[in-house]
Chain A
Amino acid sequence: MKYPFGILVLLCLMHHNFDGSAQGDFRPGYIIRNNEDSIAGFVSYGTEKSNTRHCFFKEKKNVKYTSFTAGEIKRYGFINDKTYVSMTLPHEWAGEIDEFPQEKVFLKSLVTGPLGLYRYQKYYLLEKNGLILLPFPTDIMIETESDGRAIKLDRRYIDVINSFIENAQLSANKAAYSEDDLTYLIEKYNVSQGHRRSIKSKPAIALGLGVTAGYVTSKLTMDYFDKGAFEPSSTIVGGVSLNISSPKVYDRLFFSVEGWYEKIFYQGYTEYQHTGDLVRQDMLIDISFFKTTLGLKYHLLGLHNTPYIKAGIAVYFLGNTSLTINKESQQFGNVIVTDTDPGENFQIRRPAGYWFAAGYDKNISRAINLFGEFRIEKNNGFVGTAVQSASSATDLSFLLGVRF
Protein backbone atom coordinates (compact mmCIF):
# COMPACT_ATOMS: atom_id res chain seq x y z
CA MET A 1 0.00 0.00 0.00
CA LYS A 2 3.00 2.27 0.49
CA TYR A 3 3.62 3.02 -3.19
CA PRO A 4 0.01 3.51 -4.35
CA PHE A 5 -0.51 5.91 -1.45
CA GLY A 6 2.58 7.86 -2.41
CA ILE A 7 1.44 8.08 -6.02
CA LEU A 8 -2.01 9.21 -4.91
CA VAL A 9 -0.49 11.99 -2.85
CA LEU A 10 1.63 13.05 -5.82
CA LEU A 11 -1.39 13.08 -8.10
CA CYS A 12 -3.28 15.29 -5.66
CA LEU A 13 -0.33 17.65 -5.40
CA MET A 14 0.12 17.85 -9.13
CA HIS A 15 -3.58 18.40 -9.70
CA HIS A 16 -3.70 21.15 -7.10
CA ASN A 17 -0.60 22.73 -8.50
CA PHE A 18 -1.58 22.73 -12.15
CA ASP A 19 -5.23 23.50 -11.77
CA GLY A 20 -4.69 27.10 -10.79
CA SER A 21 -2.49 27.99 -13.71
CA ALA A 22 -4.07 26.19 -16.62
CA GLN A 23 -5.49 29.35 -18.20
CA GLY A 24 -3.54 29.59 -21.42
CA ASP A 25 -0.15 30.58 -22.67
CA PHE A 26 0.66 33.80 -20.81
CA ARG A 27 4.14 35.08 -21.56
CA PRO A 28 6.14 38.00 -20.14
CA GLY A 29 4.99 41.18 -21.86
CA TYR A 30 3.52 44.63 -21.42
CA ILE A 31 0.71 46.93 -22.42
CA ILE A 32 0.82 50.67 -23.14
CA ARG A 33 -2.33 52.51 -22.22
CA ASN A 34 -3.79 55.31 -24.29
CA ASN A 35 -2.28 57.81 -21.85
CA GLU A 36 1.18 56.28 -22.60
CA ASP A 37 1.41 54.52 -19.20
CA SER A 38 3.18 51.22 -19.65
CA ILE A 39 2.48 48.21 -17.42
CA ALA A 40 4.65 45.09 -17.33
CA GLY A 41 3.07 41.70 -16.79
CA PHE A 42 1.97 38.68 -18.74
CA VAL A 43 0.11 38.61 -22.05
CA SER A 44 -1.76 35.71 -23.59
CA TYR A 45 0.15 34.51 -26.63
CA GLY A 46 -3.05 33.62 -28.50
CA THR A 47 -3.50 33.08 -32.20
CA GLU A 48 -2.90 35.55 -35.02
CA LYS A 49 -6.63 36.12 -35.35
CA SER A 50 -7.48 36.49 -31.66
CA ASN A 51 -4.47 38.74 -31.07
CA THR A 52 -5.91 41.31 -33.47
CA ARG A 53 -9.17 41.55 -31.52
CA HIS A 54 -8.23 41.35 -27.84
CA CYS A 55 -5.30 41.54 -25.51
CA PHE A 56 -5.56 39.33 -22.44
CA PHE A 57 -3.30 40.79 -19.81
CA LYS A 58 -2.48 40.21 -16.16
CA GLU A 59 0.09 41.93 -14.01
CA LYS A 60 0.93 38.82 -12.00
CA LYS A 61 0.88 35.17 -12.93
CA ASN A 62 -1.61 33.95 -10.41
CA VAL A 63 -4.34 36.56 -10.87
CA LYS A 64 -7.27 36.69 -13.27
CA TYR A 65 -6.57 38.31 -16.61
CA THR A 66 -8.17 41.48 -18.00
CA SER A 67 -9.34 41.71 -21.58
CA PHE A 68 -8.50 44.87 -23.53
CA THR A 69 -9.83 45.89 -26.93
CA ALA A 70 -7.78 47.95 -29.36
CA GLY A 71 -9.79 51.00 -28.36
CA GLU A 72 -8.70 50.65 -24.75
CA ILE A 73 -4.93 50.42 -25.11
CA LYS A 74 -2.40 51.78 -27.56
CA ARG A 75 -0.06 48.86 -27.88
CA TYR A 76 0.95 45.56 -26.35
CA GLY A 77 3.80 43.15 -26.81
CA PHE A 78 5.90 40.25 -25.60
CA ILE A 79 9.43 40.55 -24.26
CA ASN A 80 11.91 39.89 -27.09
CA ASP A 81 9.03 38.91 -29.32
CA LYS A 82 6.19 40.37 -31.32
CA THR A 83 4.27 43.59 -30.65
CA TYR A 84 0.76 44.70 -31.61
CA VAL A 85 -0.29 48.26 -32.31
CA SER A 86 -3.82 49.66 -32.08
CA MET A 87 -5.02 51.17 -35.38
CA THR A 88 -8.15 51.87 -37.38
CA LEU A 89 -8.24 50.38 -40.86
CA PRO A 90 -9.33 52.81 -43.61
CA HIS A 91 -12.97 52.33 -44.62
CA GLU A 92 -12.08 52.19 -48.29
CA TRP A 93 -10.60 48.74 -47.64
CA ALA A 94 -13.99 47.32 -46.67
CA GLY A 95 -14.26 45.51 -49.97
CA GLU A 96 -10.73 44.14 -49.78
CA ILE A 97 -10.72 42.65 -46.28
CA ASP A 98 -12.94 39.82 -45.08
CA GLU A 99 -15.10 40.69 -42.07
CA PHE A 100 -13.87 44.27 -42.22
CA PRO A 101 -13.65 45.68 -38.66
CA GLN A 102 -15.41 48.99 -38.07
CA GLU A 103 -13.62 49.59 -34.80
CA LYS A 104 -9.93 49.74 -33.93
CA VAL A 105 -7.94 46.52 -34.18
CA PHE A 106 -4.46 45.39 -33.18
CA LEU A 107 -1.99 45.13 -36.04
CA LYS A 108 1.05 42.94 -35.59
CA SER A 109 4.09 45.13 -36.06
CA LEU A 110 6.57 43.21 -38.19
CA VAL A 111 9.00 45.91 -39.25
CA THR A 112 9.47 49.49 -38.14
CA GLY A 113 11.58 52.07 -39.89
CA PRO A 114 11.43 54.16 -43.05
CA LEU A 115 9.03 51.57 -44.39
CA GLY A 116 6.80 49.84 -41.87
CA LEU A 117 5.18 46.46 -42.23
CA TYR A 118 2.14 45.22 -40.31
CA ARG A 119 0.02 42.14 -40.37
CA TYR A 120 -3.73 41.99 -39.83
CA GLN A 121 -4.86 38.38 -39.79
CA LYS A 122 -3.94 37.14 -43.30
CA TYR A 123 -3.34 40.63 -44.72
CA TYR A 124 -0.13 42.65 -44.84
CA LEU A 125 0.11 46.44 -44.75
CA LEU A 126 2.92 48.84 -45.53
CA GLU A 127 3.28 52.09 -43.65
CA LYS A 128 4.79 55.11 -45.35
CA ASN A 129 3.01 58.35 -44.56
CA GLY A 130 -0.07 56.25 -43.84
CA LEU A 131 -1.17 52.66 -44.24
CA ILE A 132 -1.10 50.93 -47.62
CA LEU A 133 -2.85 47.59 -47.99
CA LEU A 134 -0.93 44.97 -49.93
CA PRO A 135 -3.74 43.36 -51.97
CA PHE A 136 -4.30 39.78 -50.94
CA PRO A 137 -3.46 37.63 -53.97
CA THR A 138 -6.54 36.00 -55.44
CA ASP A 139 -6.07 32.29 -55.83
CA ILE A 140 -4.98 32.34 -59.46
CA MET A 141 -5.87 34.35 -62.52
CA ILE A 142 -6.62 32.27 -65.55
CA GLU A 143 -6.30 33.58 -69.08
CA THR A 144 -7.53 31.71 -72.09
CA GLU A 145 -5.19 31.65 -75.02
CA SER A 146 -5.65 30.22 -78.43
CA ASP A 147 -3.83 27.00 -77.61
CA GLY A 148 -5.37 26.37 -74.22
CA ARG A 149 -5.26 27.88 -70.71
CA ALA A 150 -2.45 29.67 -68.96
CA ILE A 151 -2.04 30.53 -65.31
CA LYS A 152 -0.95 33.94 -64.18
CA LEU A 153 -0.15 34.81 -60.58
CA ASP A 154 -1.72 37.85 -58.96
CA ARG A 155 1.17 40.36 -58.84
CA ARG A 156 -0.65 43.35 -57.41
CA TYR A 157 1.06 43.23 -54.00
CA ILE A 158 4.43 42.82 -55.70
CA ASP A 159 3.87 45.89 -57.81
CA VAL A 160 2.90 47.90 -54.74
CA ILE A 161 6.02 46.85 -52.84
CA ASN A 162 8.26 47.43 -55.84
CA SER A 163 6.98 50.97 -56.14
CA PHE A 164 8.33 51.63 -52.63
CA ILE A 165 11.64 49.79 -52.71
CA GLU A 166 12.89 50.24 -56.26
CA ASN A 167 14.98 53.23 -55.18
CA ALA A 168 17.15 50.75 -53.22
CA GLN A 169 17.66 48.47 -56.24
CA LEU A 170 15.52 45.83 -54.52
CA SER A 171 12.73 43.75 -56.02
CA ALA A 172 9.73 41.94 -54.56
CA ASN A 173 9.30 39.79 -57.64
CA LYS A 174 10.23 36.58 -55.81
CA ALA A 175 8.61 37.45 -52.48
CA ALA A 176 5.65 35.33 -51.42
CA TYR A 177 2.71 36.90 -49.64
CA SER A 178 4.06 35.57 -46.33
CA GLU A 179 5.35 36.99 -43.07
CA ASP A 180 8.88 35.66 -43.51
CA ASP A 181 9.37 36.84 -47.09
CA LEU A 182 7.83 40.27 -46.64
CA THR A 183 9.58 40.89 -43.30
CA TYR A 184 12.93 39.95 -44.79
CA LEU A 185 12.41 42.21 -47.79
CA ILE A 186 11.21 45.29 -45.91
CA GLU A 187 13.91 44.94 -43.26
CA LYS A 188 16.47 44.73 -46.04
CA TYR A 189 15.06 47.87 -47.55
CA ASN A 190 15.14 49.73 -44.23
CA VAL A 191 18.75 48.66 -43.60
CA SER A 192 19.64 49.99 -47.07
CA GLN A 193 18.17 53.30 -45.94
CA GLY A 194 20.47 53.37 -42.92
CA HIS A 195 17.95 52.02 -40.42
CA ARG A 196 18.94 49.44 -37.82
CA ARG A 197 16.81 46.36 -37.30
CA SER A 198 14.26 47.03 -34.60
CA ILE A 199 12.76 43.63 -33.90
CA LYS A 200 14.79 40.85 -32.42
CA SER A 201 13.95 37.73 -34.37
CA LYS A 202 13.44 34.39 -32.69
CA PRO A 203 16.49 32.13 -32.63
CA ALA A 204 16.77 29.37 -35.20
CA ILE A 205 17.84 26.83 -32.56
CA ALA A 206 17.11 26.79 -28.85
CA LEU A 207 18.46 24.30 -26.32
CA GLY A 208 16.96 23.46 -22.95
CA LEU A 209 18.83 21.40 -20.36
CA GLY A 210 17.05 19.62 -17.56
CA VAL A 211 17.44 17.22 -14.67
CA THR A 212 14.87 14.57 -13.88
CA ALA A 213 14.08 12.17 -11.06
CA GLY A 214 11.24 9.76 -10.91
CA TYR A 215 9.59 6.59 -9.84
CA VAL A 216 9.25 3.65 -12.22
CA THR A 217 7.19 0.53 -11.81
CA SER A 218 7.89 -2.22 -14.30
CA LYS A 219 5.94 -5.38 -15.07
CA LEU A 220 7.95 -8.17 -16.67
CA THR A 221 6.38 -11.13 -18.42
CA MET A 222 8.44 -14.07 -19.63
CA ASP A 223 7.95 -16.96 -21.94
CA TYR A 224 7.67 -20.28 -20.03
CA PHE A 225 6.46 -18.38 -16.95
CA ASP A 226 2.82 -17.67 -16.07
CA LYS A 227 1.68 -14.13 -16.82
CA GLY A 228 1.59 -13.23 -13.16
CA ALA A 229 4.84 -14.98 -12.33
CA PHE A 230 6.73 -11.71 -11.92
CA GLU A 231 5.55 -9.14 -9.41
CA PRO A 232 5.71 -5.49 -10.56
CA SER A 233 9.10 -4.10 -9.74
CA SER A 234 9.73 -0.51 -8.74
CA THR A 235 12.76 1.72 -8.64
CA ILE A 236 13.97 5.30 -8.53
CA VAL A 237 15.55 6.86 -11.58
CA GLY A 238 17.56 9.98 -12.19
CA GLY A 239 18.82 11.56 -15.35
CA VAL A 240 19.33 14.54 -17.59
CA SER A 241 17.46 15.79 -20.61
CA LEU A 242 18.07 18.04 -23.57
CA ASN A 243 15.29 19.69 -25.56
CA ILE A 244 16.09 21.09 -28.97
CA SER A 245 13.64 23.34 -30.76
CA SER A 246 13.51 25.94 -33.48
CA PRO A 247 11.49 28.89 -32.14
CA LYS A 248 11.85 30.63 -35.47
CA VAL A 249 9.95 27.81 -37.16
CA TYR A 250 7.66 26.64 -34.37
CA ASP A 251 8.32 27.06 -30.68
CA ARG A 252 5.98 24.35 -29.38
CA LEU A 253 7.69 21.34 -30.93
CA PHE A 254 10.85 19.90 -29.39
CA PHE A 255 13.24 17.11 -30.17
CA SER A 256 13.94 15.51 -26.83
CA VAL A 257 16.98 13.48 -25.79
CA GLU A 258 17.16 12.01 -22.31
CA GLY A 259 19.65 9.87 -20.49
CA TRP A 260 19.03 8.23 -17.16
CA TYR A 261 20.49 5.63 -14.91
CA GLU A 262 18.29 2.90 -13.52
CA LYS A 263 18.83 -0.14 -11.33
CA ILE A 264 15.97 -2.59 -11.17
CA PHE A 265 15.32 -5.98 -9.67
CA TYR A 266 12.78 -8.50 -11.00
CA GLN A 267 11.71 -11.63 -9.19
CA GLY A 268 9.48 -14.34 -10.61
CA TYR A 269 8.17 -17.68 -9.46
CA THR A 270 6.82 -20.65 -11.34
CA GLU A 271 6.06 -24.35 -10.77
CA TYR A 272 6.13 -27.22 -13.23
CA GLN A 273 6.40 -31.01 -13.39
CA HIS A 274 9.64 -32.56 -14.66
CA THR A 275 10.17 -36.34 -14.88
CA GLY A 276 7.77 -36.90 -12.03
CA ASP A 277 9.27 -34.22 -9.78
CA LEU A 278 7.49 -31.01 -8.81
CA VAL A 279 9.91 -28.18 -9.60
CA ARG A 280 9.57 -24.83 -7.82
CA GLN A 281 11.61 -22.16 -9.54
CA ASP A 282 12.55 -18.59 -8.54
CA MET A 283 14.12 -16.35 -11.15
CA LEU A 284 16.08 -13.35 -9.88
CA ILE A 285 17.12 -10.64 -12.34
CA ASP A 286 19.27 -7.75 -11.13
CA ILE A 287 20.13 -5.15 -13.75
CA SER A 288 21.63 -1.71 -13.89
CA PHE A 289 21.57 0.20 -17.13
CA PHE A 290 21.83 3.56 -18.80
CA LYS A 291 18.85 4.41 -20.94
CA THR A 292 18.68 6.96 -23.71
CA THR A 293 15.34 8.11 -25.01
CA LEU A 294 14.82 9.95 -28.26
CA GLY A 295 11.47 11.54 -28.94
CA LEU A 296 9.32 14.46 -29.95
CA LYS A 297 7.55 16.68 -27.48
CA TYR A 298 4.59 18.91 -28.29
CA HIS A 299 3.31 21.69 -26.03
CA LEU A 300 -0.47 21.70 -26.39
CA LEU A 301 -1.32 25.24 -25.27
CA GLY A 302 1.79 27.34 -25.67
CA LEU A 303 5.41 27.60 -24.71
CA HIS A 304 4.96 27.52 -20.94
CA ASN A 305 2.33 26.57 -18.38
CA THR A 306 0.89 24.00 -20.68
CA PRO A 307 0.14 20.30 -20.87
CA TYR A 308 2.35 18.44 -23.29
CA ILE A 309 2.65 15.07 -24.97
CA LYS A 310 5.77 13.16 -25.90
CA ALA A 311 6.55 9.97 -27.75
CA GLY A 312 9.68 8.22 -28.85
CA ILE A 313 11.99 5.25 -28.59
CA ALA A 314 14.25 3.98 -25.83
CA VAL A 315 17.73 2.56 -26.29
CA TYR A 316 19.39 0.65 -23.48
CA PHE A 317 23.06 0.26 -22.51
CA LEU A 318 23.48 -2.46 -19.90
CA GLY A 319 25.77 -2.16 -16.89
CA ASN A 320 26.03 -4.82 -14.20
CA THR A 321 23.60 -7.68 -14.70
CA SER A 322 22.89 -10.97 -13.01
CA LEU A 323 20.37 -13.69 -13.72
CA THR A 324 19.92 -16.43 -11.12
CA ILE A 325 17.52 -19.34 -11.04
CA ASN A 326 16.87 -21.07 -7.73
CA LYS A 327 15.31 -24.41 -8.51
CA GLU A 328 13.97 -26.84 -5.93
CA SER A 329 12.89 -30.28 -7.13
CA GLN A 330 10.56 -32.19 -4.87
CA GLN A 331 11.33 -35.88 -5.31
CA PHE A 332 9.74 -39.05 -4.00
CA GLY A 333 9.64 -39.21 -0.21
CA ASN A 334 9.45 -35.44 0.34
CA VAL A 335 13.10 -34.99 -0.55
CA ILE A 336 13.90 -31.50 -1.82
CA VAL A 337 17.02 -30.92 -3.93
CA THR A 338 18.19 -27.35 -4.47
CA ASP A 339 19.94 -26.32 -7.63
CA THR A 340 21.06 -22.76 -8.31
CA ASP A 341 22.47 -21.81 -11.67
CA PRO A 342 23.21 -18.61 -13.51
CA GLY A 343 20.26 -18.70 -15.86
CA GLU A 344 20.46 -22.08 -17.57
CA ASN A 345 19.25 -21.48 -21.11
CA PHE A 346 18.43 -17.82 -20.51
CA GLN A 347 20.65 -14.79 -20.71
CA ILE A 348 20.33 -11.05 -20.21
CA ARG A 349 19.70 -9.26 -23.48
CA ARG A 350 19.71 -5.58 -24.33
CA PRO A 351 16.12 -4.46 -24.86
CA ALA A 352 14.67 -1.73 -27.03
CA GLY A 353 11.38 0.02 -26.44
CA TYR A 354 8.94 2.72 -27.40
CA TRP A 355 7.08 5.09 -25.11
CA PHE A 356 4.37 7.71 -24.82
CA ALA A 357 4.15 10.43 -22.17
CA ALA A 358 1.87 13.22 -21.05
CA GLY A 359 2.85 15.95 -18.64
CA TYR A 360 2.60 19.54 -17.56
CA ASP A 361 5.22 22.24 -17.92
CA LYS A 362 5.16 25.15 -15.49
CA ASN A 363 7.25 28.26 -15.76
CA ILE A 364 8.43 29.54 -12.37
CA SER A 365 10.87 32.20 -13.50
CA ARG A 366 12.26 33.63 -16.70
CA ALA A 367 14.72 30.77 -17.12
CA ILE A 368 13.40 27.88 -15.04
CA ASN A 369 10.56 25.48 -15.77
CA LEU A 370 9.27 22.66 -13.63
CA PHE A 371 7.55 19.68 -15.13
CA GLY A 372 5.71 16.55 -14.07
CA GLU A 373 5.14 13.66 -16.41
CA PHE A 374 3.51 10.24 -16.63
CA ARG A 375 5.04 7.83 -19.10
CA ILE A 376 4.25 4.38 -20.36
CA GLU A 377 6.88 2.32 -22.12
CA LYS A 378 6.74 -1.07 -23.79
CA ASN A 379 9.99 -2.91 -24.33
CA ASN A 380 11.08 -6.45 -25.00
CA GLY A 381 12.31 -7.12 -21.48
CA PHE A 382 15.80 -8.09 -20.48
CA VAL A 383 15.70 -11.87 -20.77
CA GLY A 384 16.04 -14.09 -23.77
CA THR A 385 17.84 -16.99 -25.30
CA ALA A 386 21.03 -16.72 -27.31
CA VAL A 387 19.04 -15.89 -30.43
CA GLN A 388 15.89 -14.08 -29.39
CA SER A 389 14.06 -12.24 -26.66
CA ALA A 390 11.88 -14.33 -24.38
CA SER A 391 10.35 -11.53 -22.37
CA SER A 392 8.54 -8.22 -22.53
CA ALA A 393 8.06 -5.41 -20.04
CA THR A 394 5.65 -2.54 -19.49
CA ASP A 395 7.02 0.40 -17.51
CA LEU A 396 4.94 3.11 -15.89
CA SER A 397 6.93 6.16 -14.82
CA PHE A 398 6.18 9.29 -12.88
CA LEU A 399 8.86 11.89 -13.45
CA LEU A 400 9.52 15.29 -11.97
CA GLY A 401 12.16 17.66 -13.19
CA VAL A 402 13.60 21.09 -13.64
CA ARG A 403 14.47 22.53 -17.04
CA PHE A 404 16.72 25.51 -17.65
Chain B
Amino acid sequence: MSRFIFIIAFLLVLSVGCTEEEVTSREYPRVHTLEIMPAGNTSLKLKGEIFFSSVPIADHGFVWTEVGFPTVTNGAKFSLGPKEGAGIFETTAAATLKSGKTYAARAYAQSAEYTVYGELFEFIAP
Protein backbone atom coordinates (compact mmCIF):
# COMPACT_ATOMS: atom_id res chain seq x y z
CA MET B 1 0.00 0.00 0.00
CA SER B 2 2.76 2.43 0.98
CA ARG B 3 4.54 1.78 -2.32
CA PHE B 4 1.36 2.59 -4.20
CA ILE B 5 0.93 5.84 -2.29
CA PHE B 6 4.50 6.83 -3.02
CA ILE B 7 4.08 6.13 -6.72
CA ILE B 8 0.90 8.25 -6.80
CA ALA B 9 2.71 11.06 -4.97
CA PHE B 10 5.64 10.77 -7.38
CA LEU B 11 3.33 11.02 -10.40
CA LEU B 12 1.55 14.00 -8.84
CA VAL B 13 4.87 15.80 -8.48
CA LEU B 14 5.65 15.13 -12.12
CA SER B 15 2.20 16.25 -13.24
CA VAL B 16 2.38 19.80 -11.91
CA GLY B 17 3.46 22.37 -14.44
CA CYS B 18 6.30 24.80 -14.90
CA THR B 19 6.04 28.57 -15.03
CA GLU B 20 6.01 29.92 -18.58
CA GLU B 21 6.01 33.42 -19.98
CA GLU B 22 2.74 35.29 -19.52
CA VAL B 23 2.03 38.41 -21.52
CA THR B 24 1.12 41.13 -19.07
CA SER B 25 -1.92 43.17 -19.99
CA ARG B 26 -2.00 46.81 -21.04
CA GLU B 27 -4.78 49.19 -22.05
CA TYR B 28 -3.16 49.49 -25.47
CA PRO B 29 -2.03 46.97 -28.08
CA ARG B 30 1.53 45.69 -27.61
CA VAL B 31 3.73 45.47 -30.68
CA HIS B 32 6.99 43.78 -31.65
CA THR B 33 8.93 44.54 -34.81
CA LEU B 34 10.15 41.14 -35.99
CA GLU B 35 11.87 41.69 -39.32
CA ILE B 36 12.78 44.60 -41.60
CA MET B 37 14.68 43.57 -44.70
CA PRO B 38 15.28 45.55 -47.89
CA ALA B 39 14.57 43.62 -51.09
CA GLY B 40 16.62 45.67 -53.53
CA ASN B 41 16.10 49.44 -53.66
CA THR B 42 12.43 49.33 -54.40
CA SER B 43 10.80 47.26 -51.69
CA LEU B 44 10.96 46.22 -48.07
CA LYS B 45 10.09 42.88 -46.55
CA LEU B 46 8.35 43.68 -43.25
CA LYS B 47 7.18 41.54 -40.36
CA GLY B 48 5.64 42.49 -37.01
CA GLU B 49 3.49 41.11 -34.25
CA ILE B 50 0.71 42.41 -32.09
CA PHE B 51 1.25 40.14 -29.08
CA PHE B 52 -1.43 41.61 -26.85
CA SER B 53 -4.57 43.53 -27.52
CA SER B 54 -7.51 44.31 -25.26
CA VAL B 55 -8.97 47.05 -27.45
CA PRO B 56 -9.99 47.31 -31.12
CA ILE B 57 -7.05 48.02 -33.41
CA ALA B 58 -7.91 50.88 -35.76
CA ASP B 59 -4.78 50.58 -37.86
CA HIS B 60 -1.49 48.70 -37.98
CA GLY B 61 1.47 48.52 -40.29
CA PHE B 62 5.03 49.79 -40.67
CA VAL B 63 6.77 53.16 -40.78
CA TRP B 64 10.29 54.02 -41.91
CA THR B 65 12.43 57.07 -42.43
CA GLU B 66 15.94 58.05 -43.43
CA VAL B 67 16.65 60.14 -40.36
CA GLY B 68 15.54 59.97 -36.70
CA PHE B 69 12.64 57.98 -35.41
CA PRO B 70 9.89 57.11 -37.86
CA THR B 71 6.30 57.89 -36.82
CA VAL B 72 2.96 57.67 -38.52
CA THR B 73 3.33 61.33 -39.42
CA ASN B 74 6.98 62.01 -40.21
CA GLY B 75 8.02 59.36 -42.73
CA ALA B 76 6.98 56.62 -45.11
CA LYS B 77 4.14 54.45 -43.92
CA PHE B 78 2.60 51.18 -45.05
CA SER B 79 -0.82 50.70 -43.46
CA LEU B 80 -2.48 47.31 -43.20
CA GLY B 81 -5.65 48.83 -41.77
CA PRO B 82 -7.76 47.62 -38.84
CA LYS B 83 -7.01 44.26 -37.24
CA GLU B 84 -8.93 41.95 -34.97
CA GLY B 85 -6.99 40.63 -32.02
CA ALA B 86 -3.33 39.71 -31.69
CA GLY B 87 -1.18 37.98 -34.26
CA ILE B 88 1.74 38.23 -36.65
CA PHE B 89 1.44 40.45 -39.70
CA GLU B 90 3.80 40.75 -42.65
CA THR B 91 3.97 42.31 -46.06
CA THR B 92 6.30 43.43 -48.81
CA ALA B 93 5.97 47.16 -49.30
CA ALA B 94 7.11 49.29 -52.20
CA ALA B 95 9.79 51.75 -51.10
CA THR B 96 12.19 54.17 -52.69
CA LEU B 97 15.52 53.60 -51.02
CA LYS B 98 18.80 55.41 -51.64
CA SER B 99 21.67 52.98 -51.98
CA GLY B 100 24.11 53.09 -49.03
CA LYS B 101 21.82 55.18 -46.84
CA THR B 102 20.87 54.08 -43.32
CA TYR B 103 17.16 53.80 -42.62
CA ALA B 104 15.17 53.17 -39.47
CA ALA B 105 11.88 51.27 -39.47
CA ARG B 106 9.38 49.80 -37.04
CA ALA B 107 5.95 48.24 -36.80
CA TYR B 108 3.05 50.19 -35.34
CA ALA B 109 -0.50 49.71 -34.12
CA GLN B 110 -3.13 52.31 -33.30
CA SER B 111 -6.14 52.10 -31.06
CA ALA B 112 -8.64 54.83 -30.42
CA GLU B 113 -6.42 56.37 -27.75
CA TYR B 114 -2.89 55.13 -28.34
CA THR B 115 -0.26 54.86 -31.02
CA VAL B 116 2.17 52.09 -30.21
CA TYR B 117 5.50 51.50 -31.95
CA GLY B 118 7.51 48.28 -31.93
CA GLU B 119 11.28 48.06 -31.62
CA LEU B 120 13.33 50.26 -33.96
CA PHE B 121 15.30 48.39 -36.63
CA GLU B 122 18.04 50.02 -38.68
CA PHE B 123 19.24 48.85 -42.09
CA ILE B 124 21.43 50.07 -44.94
CA ALA B 125 19.82 50.17 -48.33
CA PRO B 126 21.70 47.98 -50.86
Contacts and interface: CB of A to CB of B under 8 A. Distances in A.
Partners in one complex: yes
B9 A13 contact: yes
Interface string B67-109: 0010100000000000000000000000000000000000000
Contacts of A79: none
Interface stretch (A149-157, A337-345, A382-390): A337-345
A385 B19 CA distance: 25
Contacts of B19: 231-235, 264-267
Contacts of A400: 6, 9-10, 13
Contacts of A364: 2-3, 6
A135 B71 CA distance: 101
A394 to B, nearest CB: 15
A335 B115 contact: yes
B18 A263 contact: yes
B37 interface: no
Given A338-B116, A340-B32, A400-B10, A17 B21 contact: no
Nearest to A61: B2
Interface in A336-378: 336-340, 362, 364, 370, 372
Contact of A234 (B3, B18, B21, B26): B18
Contacts of A293: none
A16 interface: yes
A334 B117 contact: no
Contact of B26 (A16, A215, A265, A328): A328
Contacts of A335: 71, 114-117
A14 B31 CA distance: 48
Interface of A: 2-3, 6, 9-10, 13-14, 16-17, 20-21, 213-215, 231-236, 263-267, 269, 280, 282, 284, 328, 333-340, 362, 364, 370, 372, 398, 400
The 6 closest A-B pairs by CB, nearest first: A336-B116, A233-B19, A235-B18, A334-B114, A17-B5, A13-B9
Interface of B: 2-3, 5-6, 8-10, 12-22, 24, 26, 28, 30-33, 69, 71, 113-120
